[in-house]
Amino acid sequence: MAPEEKCGALNGKYELGRLLGHGTFAKVYHARNVQNGKSVAMKVVGKEKVIKVGMMDQIKREISVMKMVKNPNIVELHEVMASKTKIYFAMELVRGGELFAKIAKGKLREDVARGYFQQLISAIDFCHSRGVFHRDLKPENLLLDEEGNLKVTDFGLSAFTEHLRQDGLLHTTCGTPAYVAPEVIGKKGYDGSKADIWSCGVILYVLLAGFLPFQEENIMAMYKKIYRGDFKCPPWFSSEARRLITKMLDPNPNSRITTSKIMDSSWFKKSIPRTLRNK
Ligand code: ADP
Ligand code: MG
């Protein structure tokens, strides 16, 4: 650990512990707030990259929005600190690991998948109604708490990731476009809410199938399939699940289903947990 991660910007308020995970541009550590003894997850990002791409103001705006977005299915951002070289995001610690560790052994039952999907859509709908879009929904951003509740991370921070990518800094590490909507690949202007719905469609497919809807060795072949919305549902999908996924993976963002219509679909409504009723 770099010495400035131990003190500096953290003003002695947090003690950093073990590494919990790392993503495309950040490292996430377990940390303890020494003032109240509470554990948090501390995301540490190199500042140099951010300054290079002129993102400081945008990040500040995004962060102020994120602090207002409080929802049981979204990882809470407690505070943001900065040192000379790094930005620190103190976040709610989520202890149950990534959702996709659950399907590493195979697909989920439809009723189990529905429970996670309902929480995902509830979080997405909540943020969209406040003008906040994720734009980078994928398995590693879906965590589970100890009770098995789904928590979306990195909400509102996506613009940050996007700009780093445009700078070319992340091109080699940003991985697969498997979850990205066709209009996002096309780099035309796009509607963040429609792009999020596409990604949720891919996530639902993966939960029910145990594999990706658009999977090709060759990346250009994968793009082609995404552009055409060319996928097949396996025979074990119920007809209601099939119908919903087809409406979410509509390559035309204008006719793609909305969150309110998703929540009104027969597959979604089959069993609504008490925690999501009357929302
Ligand atoms: P990046 O934005 O660089 O992709 P992430 O925010 O996705 O970084 O974090 C990387 C990894 O750290 C995640 O995949 C997850 O395993 C772990 N992680 C992130 N946030 C938390 C959190 N709030 N609680 C526990 N683990 C987390
Ligand atoms: Mg991430």
The pick from 24, 38, 66, 143 for probing ligand 1's pocket by mutation, whose C-beta has the most ligand atoms within 8 angstroms, reads 143
Residue 76 near residue 90, CB atoms below 8 Å: no
As a whole number of angstroms, the distance between CA 246 and CA 94 comes to 32
Q: How confident is the model at residue 278 (pLDDT cuts 50, 70, 90)?
A: very low
| Ligand 1 atom nearest residue 161's Cα | 2
Cα–ligand 1 centroid distance for 89 (angstroms): 11
The pick from 43, 50, 76, 149 for probing ligand 1's pocket by mutation, whose C-beta has the most ligand atoms within 8 angstroms, reads 43
Q: What percentage of the chain exceeds 90 in pLDDT?
A: 49
Q: pLDDT digits over 175-221, tens only?
A: 457 888 888 877 666 778 899 999 999 999 999 999 999 999 888 99
Nearest ligand to the C-alpha atom of residue 43: 1
Binding site for ATP: which residues? 47
As a whole number of angstroms, the distance between CA 248 and CA 245 comes to 5
Q: Is 90 exceeded by the pLDDT of residue 125?
A: yes
Cα–Cα distances (Å) from 97 to 44, 200, 227, in that order, read 19, 19, 32
Least confident of 171-185, 230-244, 249-263: 171-185
As a whole number of angstroms, the distance between CA 23 and CA 76 comes to 18
As a whole number of angstroms, the distance between CA 47 and CA 51 comes to 6
Cα–ligand 1 centroid distance for 28 (angstroms): 6
Q: With CA atoms as reference, report the closest residue to 23 among 203, 162, 195, 173.
A: 173
Interface pTM (ipTM) of the complex? 0.96
| Ligand 1 atom nearest residue 94's Cα | 24
75 lines ligand 1 (CB under 6 A): yes
As a whole number of angstroms, the distance between CA 194 and CA 23 comes to 24
**What integer pLDDT is reported at residue 47 of this predicted model?**
78
User: Catalytic site residue 264?
Assistant: no
Instruction: Tell me the two tokens of residue 62.
Output: 């995004």
- The active-site residue out of 57, 111, 125, 136 is 136
Cα–Cα distances (Å) from 169 to 155, 156, 158, 188, 220, in that order, read 21, 20, 15, 21, 21
As a whole number of angstroms, the distance between CA 78 and CA 256 comes to 34
Residue identifier of the C-alpha nearest atom 15 of ligand 1: 21
Residue identifier of the C-alpha nearest atom 16 of ligand 1: 21
**What integer pLDDT is reported at residue 259 of this predicted model?**
97
Q: Which contiguous run of DSSP H or E holds residue 260? A: helix 259-263
